[in-house]
Structure 1
Amino acid sequence: MTATARKTLLLIYHSWTGATEQMIHAVARGAAG
């Protein structure tokens, strides 16, 4: 795997986990009222 490919994968991974984290927080906030 090239360094560029690894960087791209990391970027995608972080953007996905970041979005998921925001969703979890939003759901938690909604549940808390």
Structure 2
Amino acid sequence: RELFIQFVQYYNFHRPHQALDGRTPVEEITN
């Protein structure tokens, strides 16, 4: 469970998304 939480945080805050032109979802939301 802890690993899943860490993965979700990584996925949403650190992993660049091709669909967002290399931005993270957090960057997309806050900009």
RCO higher in structure (CA 8 A, sep ≥6): 2
Higher Cα radius of gyration: 1
Higher helix proportion (structure 1 or 2): 1
Query: What TM-score, normalized to structure 1?
Result: 0.43
